[in-house]
């Protein structure tokens, strides 16, 4: 149900999921552990944000000097331009400012900038943030925000899930470094997977225990029991991940795997334990490996693994060959069945029947490993 509601954000245009501070801190620390100077002297842009409420703005502003930032820019989207309408009330922070404009507050985005000590306390932190209204509504596709994108070195945000494809293209177009949140299934988008295959994008360090918690402003009864917590006001999703092109240490940690023989003896998965072989594909030369921890370390051929493999993917250990959608030979299936049931997928044969599988990523062990 949690993953379904995340996917439904695309349909309902309910993209207001506010990331938690500890999740941001954990992720950013992973890049700092790998390279302590990764943010030093850099301009960081936080688009698709809500600076007055955002933990992204709060984190980077509070840690401006520690990270060694040159400049922090955070922008928001105008309330009246959002597809998912919610009652709007300007914050006290905004209304107490002399340049507050009740009309612009609804129709214009806002920009917050931090780059110098304004208060005179010899520190640069959240108290020094300066803001004004944008000329437009703050849409990341506008010329105004594109100009800010081009100024930035690193872009960090939780973009609208409904516009994830466009946002990735927007980043790639400018050749910027980035750290963003998205649905794990977005890795299979035709605009995204080629970048993953070519090691131009990869998954980040990840959420604690694989669970992402977000504050929402949407209707609470949209969520099943156990998904929305009334005491915290948070919803839990298990299919979220960070996407990035900035290196981190976990990406280079190889999986510890058993041999094929040991998998047959000791695997915790009933589909593997006690078998004599892994299922071969009918329409591709490779074997079906239904669990990442069941990958045999001594097999040198092609293997199909779940999408969740990407969370453990070490490019020093494996190479990505493609996905079933691209590599499955559907002529073989059509010849056997006389017709095709759905788009290209990998098939196995079980009890004399052809079984169409969920999408698989096809990988092969690097020979140097």
Contact 41, 27 (CB under 8 A): no
Contact 25, 32 (CB under 8 A): no
Alpha helices in the chain (DSSP H): 2-12, 21-34, 55-62, 64-67, 92-95, 102-107, 143-151, 164-174, 193-197, 260-266, 324-327, 330-337
Quick one: CA dihedral 97, 99, 101, 104, positive or negative?
negative
State the pLDDT at residue 145: 96
Contact 281, 348 (CB under 8 A): yes
Contacts of 55 (CB under 8 A, 6+ apart): 18, 19, 20, 21, 24
Cα separation of 101 and 103, whole Å? 6
Cα separation of 304 and 367, whole Å? 18
State the pLDDT at residue 90: 63
Provide the residue ranges of all domains of the chain, joining segments of one domain with +. Answer: 2-252, 260-365
Contact 239, 350 (CB under 8 A): no
Mean pLDDT by 10 residues, the chain (369 residues): 42 60 95 98 92 87 97 88 58 67 78 95 94 92 97 95 94 97 94 96 89 69 66 79 96 96 97 96 98 97 97 97 96 93 94 95 87
Q: For the domain bounded by 2-252, which CATH number is listed?
A: 3.40.50
Cα separation of 346 and 324, whole Å? 6
Buried/exposed code over 328-344 (b: 16+ C-beta within 10 A; e: otherwise): bbeeebeeeeeeeeeeb
Contact 248, 317 (CB under 8 A): no
Q: Which two tokens stand for residue 11?
A: 């349909």
Cα separation of 309 and 348, whole Å? 20
CB atoms within 10 A of CB 223: 18
State the pLDDT at residue 210: 75
Q: Which two tokens stand for residue 123?
A: 């520190």
State the pLDDT at residue 9: 41
State the pLDDT at residue 86: 56
- String of DSSP letters for 84-140: S-------HHHHTSTT--HHHHHHS-EEEEE-S-SSSSS--SGGG-EEEE-SS---T
């Amino acid at each position: 149900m949690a993953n379904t509601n995340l996917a439904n954000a695309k349909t309902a245009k309910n993209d207001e999921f506010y990331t938690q501070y500890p999740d941001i801190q954990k992720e950013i620390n992973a890049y700092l552990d790998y390279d302590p100077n990764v943010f030093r002297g850099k301009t960081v842009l936080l688009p698709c944000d809500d600076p007055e409420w955002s933990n992204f703005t709060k984190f980077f502003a509070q840690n401006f000097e520690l990270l060694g930032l040159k400049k922090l820019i955070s922008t928001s989207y105008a309330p009246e331009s959002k597809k998912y309408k919610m009652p709007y009330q300007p914050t006290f922070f905004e209304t107490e400012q002399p340049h507050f404009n009740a009309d612009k507050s609804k129709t214009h985005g806002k920009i917050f900038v931090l780059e110098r000590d304004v208060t005179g306390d010899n520190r640069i932190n959240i108290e020094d943030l300066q803001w004004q209204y944008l000329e437009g509504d703050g849409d990341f596709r506008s010329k105004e925000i594109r100009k800010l994108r081009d100024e930035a070195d690193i872009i960090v945000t939780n973009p609208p899930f409904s516009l994830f494809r466009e946002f990735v293209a927007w980043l790639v177009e400018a050749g910027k470094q980035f750290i963003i949140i998205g649905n794990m299934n977005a890795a299979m988008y035709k605009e995204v997977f080629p970048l993953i295959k070519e090691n131009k994008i990869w998954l980040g360090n990840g959420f604690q225990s694989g669970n992402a918690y977000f504050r929402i402003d949407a209707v609470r009864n949209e969520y099943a029991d156990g998904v929305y917590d009334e005491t915290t006001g948070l919803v839990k999703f298990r299919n979220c991940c960070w996407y990035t092109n900035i290196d981190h240490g976990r990406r280079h940690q190889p999986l510890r795997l058993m041999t094929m023989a040991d998998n047959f003896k000791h695997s915790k998965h009933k589909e593997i334990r006690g078998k004599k072989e892994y299922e071969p594909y009918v329409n591709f030369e490779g074997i079906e490996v239904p669990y990442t921890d069941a990958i045999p370390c001594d097999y040198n051929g092609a293997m199909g693994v779940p999408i969740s493999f990407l969370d453990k993917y070490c490019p020093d250990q494996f190479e990505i060959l493609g996905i079933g959608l691209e590599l499955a030979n559907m002529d073989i299936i059509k010849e056997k069945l006389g017709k095709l049931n759905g788009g290209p997928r990998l098939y196995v044969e079980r009890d004399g029947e052809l079984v169409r599988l969920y999408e698989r990523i096809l990988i092969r062990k690097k020979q140097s490993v």
